[in-house]
Structure 1
C-alpha cells in the first residue's frame, strides 16, 4: 500500500519530466568535441567499424583500430591517416580473452589511455538452432557479448580515474526483439543490451557519471553479413546512415540509438498488445533473409 502511495506522489514529477522531454525535442543538442581523444574501435576492418573510424578521423581523434582481418584493418588505418588522424592498427581476435588483454596492455603502454571505446566487432550465423554448430554458438557469444566485458575491463579503469570517457555498445534491434533463425545472434545481442544497461547503472552507483554510455540498435544493415534481408518496415539500412546516427548519438551522449527510430514504437507494442495481435503484426512485418534451416516442417 505504501509503495502505491509513493507512486502516486511521484505523478507530478512524471508529468514535469514528460513535458521537459517534449520541449527538448525541439532544442538542438550540443555536440561534444572528441578532438585529441584516443578512440579504440573493434571490428574496424569493414562495415560499421570502418565508417565509424573515418568519422572520428575527420573529428581529429587519435585512433586505435582492432580487427581480426589484417588487410581490412590496415586499409581502414591508411584512409584514416589520409584524413589526417594519427592511427594505430592491431590484428586482434576478439573471441580470445587473453589476446584482448595483451593487445590492451600494449595500447595502454605505447599509445595512452583510451577514452572512447567502441565495441563493434560482431559475428552472425543465419540458421535454425539445430543447424547452428556448437562452435558457432560459442563464437557468437565470445565476440558479440564476452568481448565487451574484456575490453571494458581493460580500458574502463583509466576512464573512472578521471571520470571522463565513453563506452559504446554496438548491439542490434535483435537485442530487443527476435526473429527466427537468428537465435544465437539475438541471444547474444540481448546480452549486449543488458551489458550496456547494467554498466550504465553501475557507473551512476559509483558516481562516475562523467563516463558516458551509448548503445546502437539498428535493423538490418546492408553489410553483407546477412544475405538478402527484407522487411515491410522499409529498405535495408545503408551503413552510412547508421554511422551518421551513431556518431550523433555519441556526440550528443544519447543512451540508446535506434535505427530507424520507429523500432521504439514496435518495442512498446510488444509490451502492451495481446500475443495474438503481435503474431498477426509479425506476419505483416514479414522479416526474411537467407538461412540454413535443417528442420523441415512436414
Structure 2
C-alpha cells in the first residue's frame, strides 16, 4: 500500500462527506453558516473522520452507517480550533495558512460559529440515527463522541492546559492534558465507528489503546514541530509554546527523549491494533505517518 496516496484518497472522501453536511447559507442567520463553513472548508488532515470510518470497517461494519458521525466529529474538531484561536486562548491569526475565524468574522461571530458547529454535530448524529436498525449502536456512538469532546475529554484537557500556562508542571499532568485535549477525540471517534460496526468489548479495548497512543504521540510530535517545524508547511506560527511559557514534552524531556517516547507509543499502538484485525496496513501506515509528519 502507498500510504500517502491512500490517505489522500480517504481524506478527499472525508472532504466530500463534510461538504454534504455543511449547512446551507440562507436565512436571516446566514452569517453564522458562512462562518461555520469557512472553517469547515479550510482543509486539514481529516484524520478523525477517516479514523471513524476505518474503525467501523475493521470490525466488519458497514461504513455507510458511520458517515454522519464522520462529518460530526470534524464539526466538533473544527469548533474547538475556532475557539482555540480566539484572543482569550491562543490568540492566533493563522490556521492552515488562512486567517482564523475571528479575524474574518469578528470575535462574537467566531464564538457563535463554534457553538453552532458543536450543536450541529449532535443534530447531525441524532437525525441520521432515527429509524436505523440496532439503534443502541448509534446511541453508543453519540455518547462516545460526546464524552471525547466534553469535560472528561477535550474540554477537560483544555481547562487544565489553560490553568497550567506560565508554570512548570509534572509529566503526569502534561500527559493528562495531551490525553484529554488531543487523544480523547481520537478515542471517541474510533470507539464511535467501532460501536456502529458492532465491535465487542475486547475489540473496543484494543481500539481504545491504539487511538489513545496515536493521539498522545500526535501531540508530542506537535510539541516538537512547534520548535523545529517549518511555518510554511505548518500554515501557522511556530514557537508559540515557548513564547507562552507552556510546558511541553520537549521542555520537560528534551527533543531526543520526546522523539523516543513518541516512537514507543506508536509501536505499542500498532501491537494493539494487530490484535483486532489482520488488515492493519492503513492503521499501521497512519501510526507511522503521525510519527514522521512535518506538518
Bigger proportion of residues as helix = 2
More relative contact order, 1 or 2 (CA 8 Å, 6+ apart): 2
TM-score by length of 2: 0.33
Bigger proportion of residues as strand = 1
TM-score by length of 1: 0.32
Q: Tell me which structure has the larger Cα radius of gyration.
A: 1
